[in-house]
């Protein structure tokens, strides 16, 4: 019986629960004859990595005079690393103009975040991954084969105790009720406790909207010869301060309902997810059962069924070859091939996600 150590990540488990075929393309390698990695790095992944590195650096040094500088340095370092990774895979990097646009947009978001966000106290950036052996199904001892690997951005301490911190960049802020049901924070809390022996009070999920405040919109005035005037549209992605300023500059009275809407717009949110010790223990049992699913997929006991769904397929990195994984010319033009995860050396198992650059 093969007792090769096998690591699991939240990404792998979530992929398997979403679509067996997607999991196989990325981890199993039975449909295409190998596992596949897109030659181009998804922009949202690159931006998320850079954002996590930047805001963690800012919170850690928020009381220092160089906090903003440290944050921007971490941001640029992470983006530089991703460009090197893309070029190393033999795929053309985004144009210089596209790269510059991304850097400027994220830098502007970082400045707005630093100006409007309450710093987290005593934040400690975590370097390296969390490694925790899963509970065994047959005894009270930990599993000798399966372990969970997590990448936590930071931890912090307040009057309620120790909190794990995760920084997220979102196109839409998540409903807090959904965050309460998501498994990633709970699994990370379990791994943190299993590795360090320190029981966290819970997880802080710090989300930022992936948008930069825009300049107030100007429209043509209704009166003859009036020229351009500030727009009072409520859908503008602007701050109330910039709206009031442009109204003052043009000598126009601001619309109270527009001001109210802009004041209520959320650019970021911080969700506290308190967890009891029994909830963290239950998360370990969830991971144990997830390992059983991955075991059966690894062994070929389960056929990699395609779970075709508009929400799944539109965002899938393998949709171009899903129906024709045997087309080697097409596959090799879009992906690099690698060894299935079950066959990789142990030290290579945990490289599915790069940790954000450390300061």
pLDDT tens digit sequence for 142-188: 888 999 999 889 999 999 999 999 999 999 999 999 999 999 999 99
Residue (of 218, 216, 211) closest to 245 by Cα position: 216
Query: What gap in Å lies between CA 262 and CA 247, rounded to an integer?
Result: 14
Buried b (16+ CB within 10 A) or exposed e, 44-80: eebbbbbbbbbbbbbbbbbeeeebbebbbbbbbbbbe
pLDDT the model gives residue 355: 37
Query: What gap in Å lies between CA 43 and CA 49, rounded to an integer?
Result: 10
Query: What gap in Å lies between CA 169 and CA 151, rounded to an integer?
Result: 15
Q: Select 124-210+268-281's CATH number: 3.90.226.30, 3.40.190.10, 3.90.320.10, 3.40.50.620.
A: 3.90.320.10
CA 255 to chain centre: 37
What pTM does this model have? 0.86
Q: pLDDT grade, residue 58 (50/70/90)?
A: very high
Rounded mean pLDDT of 76-80?
A: 93
Q: Where in the chain is the domain with CATH 3.90.320.10?
A: 124-210+268-281
pLDDT the model gives residue 46: 82
Rounded mean pLDDT of 129-139?
A: 85
Q: pLDDT grade, residue 129 (50/70/90)?
A: confident
pLDDT the model gives residue 3: 67
Task: List the Cα angle 305/283/165 in 5-degree steps.
Answer: 105
Q: pLDDT grade, residue 79 (50/70/90)?
A: very high
pLDDT in tens, 246-256: 999 999 999 99
């Amino acid at each position: 019986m093969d007792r090769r150590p096998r690591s699991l990540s939240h990404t792998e488990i979530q992929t398997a629960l979403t679509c067996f075929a997607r999991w196989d393309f990325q981890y199993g390698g039975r449909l295409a004859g190998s596992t596949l990695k897109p030659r181009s790095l998804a922009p949202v992944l690159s931006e998320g990595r850079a954002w996590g590195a930047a805001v963690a650096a800012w919170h850690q040094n928020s009381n220092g005079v160089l906090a903003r500088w440290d944050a921007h340095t971490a941001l640029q370092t992470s983006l530089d690393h991703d460009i090197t990774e893309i070029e190393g895979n033999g795929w053309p990097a985004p144009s210089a103009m596209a790269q510059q646009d991304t850097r400027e947009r994220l830098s502007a978001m970082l400045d707005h975040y630093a100006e409007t966000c309450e710093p987290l106290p005593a934040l400690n950036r975590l370097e390296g991954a969390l490694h925790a052996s899963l509970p065994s199904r047959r005894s009270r001892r930990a599993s000798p084969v399966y372990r969970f690997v997590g990448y936590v951005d930071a931890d912090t301490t307040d009057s309620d105790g120790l909190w794990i911190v995760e920084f997220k960049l979102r196109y839409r802020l998540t409903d807090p009720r959904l965050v309460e049901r998501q498994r990633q924070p709970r699994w990370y809390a379990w791994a943190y406790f299993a590795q360090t022996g320190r029981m966290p009070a819970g997880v802080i999920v710090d989300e930022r909207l992936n948008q930069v405040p825009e300049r107030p919109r100007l429209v043509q005035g209704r009166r003859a010869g009036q020229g351009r005037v500030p727009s009072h549209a409520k859908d503008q992605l602007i701050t109330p301060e910039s709206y009031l300023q442009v109204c003052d500059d043009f000598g126009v009275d601001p619309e109270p309902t527009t001001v109210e809407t802009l004041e209520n717009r959320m650019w970021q949110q911080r969700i506290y997810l308190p967890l009891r010790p029994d909830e963290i223990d239950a998360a370990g049992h969830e991971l144990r059962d997830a390992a059983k699913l991955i075991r059966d997929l690894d062994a070929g006991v389960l056929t990699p069924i395609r779970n075709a769904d508009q929400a799944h397929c539109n965002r899938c990195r393998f949709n171009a070859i899903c129906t024709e994984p045997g087309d080697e010319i097409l596959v090799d033009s879009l992906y690099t091939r690698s060894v299935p995860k079950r066959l990789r050396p142990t030290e290579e198992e945990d490289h599915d996600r790069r940790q954000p650059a450390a300061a």
